[in-house]
Chains A and B, each alone.
Chain A
Amino acid sequence: MTIGVDHDKRVSDGLGHSSSGRLERVLRAGQFAVTAELAPPDSANPEEVYARARVFDGYVDAMNATDGSGANCHMSSVAMCALLSRRGYETVMQVSCRDRNRIAIQGDVLGGAALGINNILCLTGDGVQVGDHPQAKPVFDLDSMSLLETVAGLRDKQVFASGRALSDPPRVFLGAAENPFVPPHGFRPHRLAKKIAAGAQFIQTQYCFDLSRFRAFMDQSRDLGLLDKCFILPGVGPLASARTAEWMRRHVPGVHIPDAIIRRLEGARDQRVEGRNICIELIQQLREIEGVSGVHVMAHRQEAYVADIIEKSGVLGDRAPWSPSCNKALEKQHA
């Protein structure tokens, strides 16, 4: 069994890596990567963050700490990532344009990188109307594209968006989101091309329940020559029941669930188990698609099942992603 690479070993630029993170290393080594979404607590207690992370130990290469996802207020992404990286975890800091302008965001990116965050996912963000503070002022000073360009500028040109120079750039691996499952379908692959041009190195997609749509998107992306320019991790997740699925596709912007999936859940004896089986099958089928470098698991309120889903899908083979126990094992060896 291969043990995940240890956290502090810096990767030389000679390898063409832009961060010193494990996620970038796993992807560039051609291994099938698994990332998972970590729900932030409504609390100021760091132990809650660690408890939420622990359920993924040994099964994921990085955890995405969401940034007020669904426009609901929670602990901030930068703080969650900073707490987790203290313990050696690999995190993806999500940055959305909804709540902060370019001055605040650039400051957070520098601060996040200084605190040990290796990956940044640039998002536009959900509208405030869907969240728990619909009275709030939506900022949207940048959009996901100009955010990518701005962070790439900090890293590669070592300047702020204003042109003012930095002394030390943030060494981060840059990600973006894409949703191949909503209109305008013809534009989606071109939008991916724009994101790559703006600096995206990896892509995590919205939930994929519609394989044929996803295949069409990947075919078009291949024709545009995009598949070897970025790592694509389609989003997956277990559906708790036909009712939740129905609710999600009605109320969560951007989630597309075909009728066939809902019917299959309805017909199952245990809908929860069936939801997980569907997820496992999707992961296995997605792995076979050209250009898919991993999966991004979003198991809202079903985080406890993620390890089992990954295990059963078999996508990790005999690889065990880093977990705090790897460090303990190493310490013992050296003692």
Chain B
Amino acid sequence: MYSLRLWAARHARVFELTYRAFEPVVVKLHPLWKSVGYRRAEKPMGKLERLCKGLLFDCQMCGQCALSATGMSCSMNCPKTMRNGPCGGVLQNGNCEVYPEKRCVWVEAWEGSRKMRGGDAIRVVQLPVDHRLKGSSSWLRVARDASESGERHREAAR
């Protein structure tokens, strides 16, 4: 929802904290995901993620969430799907060149990032979108990547 999306970016700090508390839980649940099977967990988790983030951020489920690097303003809502900052066409009032009645996603992103403790992540160059991941759960990916890299570290330490 558009108004909720604007509200969320304006309270980026709250959502940053929420996610910081939430991420370790999802990662800790790795044994559960593993026993259920990441494939089978994908459907319910994907649905849940789509529901929460869809409502709050108009999340487009790109499957490689960058909200923490975009001031909690989902950059996939930009009509040019810019992942690295605003285009050169932003209107003087901060609205979008394509949808002049809407705020530019990146104006919101910049303002949101200034409210976040880790807001400087907006300065990091983001990779191009991997279109294969569209529709999949970023949360599960984070859980799997974190646990797998943890396992690799432990093995290397052995």
Query: B128, A253: Cβ atoms under 8 Å?
Result: no
Residues of B near A16 (CB, < 8 A) are none
- Chain A min CB distance to B101 (Å): 13
The yes or no answer to B49 lying at the interface (CB within 8 A) is no
Residues of B near A253 (CB, < 8 A) are 88-89, 91, 97
Chain A interface size, under 10 / 10 to 19 / 20 to 34 / 35 or more: 35 or more
Give bound CA distance, A114 to B90, whole Å: 36
8 A Cβ contacts from B90-118 to A: 90-94, 97-98, 104, 106-107, 110-111, 114
B: residues with CB less than 8 A from A are 79-94, 97-98, 104, 106-107, 110-111, 114, 122-129, 131
Nearest B residue to A199 via CB reads B125
- Chain A min CB distance to B44 (Å): 30
Query: A194, B125: Cβ atoms under 8 Å?
Result: yes
Give bound CA distance, A191 to B91, whole Å: 17
- Chain B min CB distance to A281 (Å): 23
Residues of A near B82 (CB, < 8 A) are 124, 140, 143
Given known contacts A149-B125, A182-B88, A127 and B80 CB-to-CB distance under 8 angstroms: yes
Residues of A near B79 (CB, < 8 A) are 127, 138
The yes or no answer to A184 lying at the interface (CB within 8 A) is yes
The yes or no answer to A193 lying at the interface (CB within 8 A) is yes
Query: A140, B80: Cβ atoms under 8 Å?
Result: yes
- Chain B min CB distance to A39 (Å): 19
Taking a contact as CB atoms closer than 8 A, the residue among A129, A190, A254, A256 that contacts B123 in the complex is: A190
A: residues with CB less than 8 A from B are 97-98, 102, 124-127, 129-130, 138, 140-146, 149-150, 161, 177-179, 182-184, 186-187, 190-191, 193-194, 197-198, 206, 253-254, 256
Given known contacts A127-B98, A143-B82, A184 and B106 CB-to-CB distance under 8 angstroms: yes
Taking a contact as CB atoms closer than 8 A, the residue among B86, B107, B126 that contacts A191 in the complex is: B86
Query: A182, B123: Cβ atoms under 8 Å?
Result: no
Residues of A near B86 (CB, < 8 A) are 182-184, 187, 191
Taking A138-B80, A179-B90, A183-B90 as known contacts, 18 extra A-B pairs with beta carbons closer than 8 A to each other, sorted by chain A number, are A124-B82, A126-B97, A127-B97, A127-B98, A130-B97, A140-B80, A143-B81, A144-B87, A146-B84, A150-B128, A177-B88, A179-B88, A179-B89, A183-B107, A184-B94, A186-B110, A194-B124, A254-B89
Query: B89, A145: Cβ atoms under 8 Å?
Result: no
Nearest B residue to A101 via CB reads B131
Given known contacts A178-B88, A182-B88, A184-B106, A254 and B125 CB-to-CB distance under 8 angstroms: no
Instruction: Show 19 A/B contacts (Cβ-Cβ < 8 Å), sorted by A.
Output: A97-B80, A127-B79, A146-B84, A182-B86, A182-B91, A183-B91, A183-B93, A184-B110, A184-B111, A186-B114, A187-B106, A190-B85, A190-B123, A191-B84, A193-B123, A197-B125, A254-B90, A254-B97, A256-B92
Give bound CA distance, A190 to B109, whole Å: 13
Residues of A near B124 (CB, < 8 A) are 194
Q: Which 4 A-B pairs have the closest CB atoms?
A: A253-B89, A179-B88, A145-B84, A253-B97
Give bound CA distance, A193 to B81, whole Å: 20
- Chain B min CB distance to A100 (Å): 13
Give bound CA distance, A124 to B86, whole Å: 10
Query: A183, B92: Cβ atoms under 8 Å?
Result: yes
Taking a contact as CB atoms closer than 8 A, the residue among B85, B89, B127 that contacts A187 in the complex is: B85
- Chain A min CB distance to B52 (Å): 26
Nearest B residue to A130 via CB reads B97
Residues of B near A254 (CB, < 8 A) are 87-90, 97
Give bound CA distance, A256 to B86, whole Å: 16
Query: B125, A145: Cβ atoms under 8 Å?
Result: yes
Give bound CA distance, A194 to B127, whole Å: 12
Query: B83, A146: Cβ atoms under 8 Å?
Result: yes
Give bound CA distance, A271 to B82, whole Å: 39
Query: B90, A182: Cβ atoms under 8 Å?
Result: yes
Give bound CA distance, A141 to B127, whole Å: 11
Residues of B near A138 (CB, < 8 A) are 79-80
Give bound CA distance, A303 to B125, whole Å: 37
Query: B98, A145: Cβ atoms under 8 Å?
Result: no
Nearest B residue to A179 via CB reads B88
Give bound CA distance, A242 to B94, whole Å: 24
Given known contacts A161-B128, A183-B107, A193-B123, A206 and B88 CB-to-CB distance under 8 angstroms: yes
Residues of A near B104 (CB, < 8 A) are 183-184
